[in-house]
């Protein structure tokens, strides 16, 4: 459901015995951190480590999913905004590969464009894998999920 105070679409689900809040920012990607401001009022986030961010990743082939704890932002403006808001990059990430454009100067257009059908199919598989990864992280923990999901 839309929540104008948090600038995000929100849903609550129950995984194992945990109630999990899912939020999809409705801001420009560069302002993703703003969506967190309203969320932490309703869902106190004790530390960045208790947050999981799912994002697109140019450095992975389309549909490939990797789990990562902390790290840099690799030029991702949404991650920059979240790090600026929290003052820390110590959150768990699920990275969904989108690949890189042939022309390195066309990254913005590439990220914002509708992918061709074959790539779109791979991306949808990646989204399903990311959903499975969320559940695995919550049920078994980050380290176990990373060991299982980050195989090449």
Structure tokens at 27: 């801001």
Query: How many Cβ atoms from other residues are within 10 Å of residue 48's Cβ?
Result: 19
The interaxial angle of helices 142-149 and 117-140, nearest 10 deg, is 140
Structure tokens at 103: 């022309």
Whole-angstrom CA distances from 40 to 33, 36, 44, 48 are 11, 6, 5, 11
Q: How far apart are CA 83 and CA 91, in angstroms?
A: 9
Query: How many Cβ atoms from other residues are within 10 Å of residue 39's Cβ?
Result: 20
pLDDT tens-digit series, residues 18-31: 888 898 989 888 88
Is 2-149 assigned to CATH 3.40.50.1470? yes
pLDDT tens-digit series, residues 107-143: 888 888 999 999 999 999 999 999 999 999 999 999 9
Q: How far apart are CA 89 and CA 20, in angstroms?
A: 21
- Is residue 5 over pLDDT 80? no
14-31: b (≥16 Cβ within 10 Å) or e: eeeeeebeebebeeebee
**pTM, to two decimals:** 0.87
């Amino acid at each position: 459901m839309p929540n104008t105070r948090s600038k995000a679409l929100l849903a609550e689900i129950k995984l194992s015995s945990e109630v999990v809040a899912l939020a999809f920012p409705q801001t420009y990607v560069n302002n993703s951190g703003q969506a967190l401001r309203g969320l932490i009022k309703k869902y106190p986030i004790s530390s960045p480590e208790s947050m999981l961010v799912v994002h697109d990743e140019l450095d992975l082939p389309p549909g490939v999913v990797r789990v990562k704890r902390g790290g840099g932002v690799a030029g991702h403006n949404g991650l920059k905004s979240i790090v600026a808001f929290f003052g820390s990059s110590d959150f768990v990430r699920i990275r969904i590969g989108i690949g890189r454009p042939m022309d390195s100067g066309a990254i913005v257009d590439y990220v914002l464009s509708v992918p061709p059908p074959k790539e779109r199919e791979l991306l949808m598989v990646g989204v399903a894998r990311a959903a499975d990864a969320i559940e695995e992280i919550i049920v078994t923990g980050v380290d176990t999920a990373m060991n299982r999901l980050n195989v090449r």
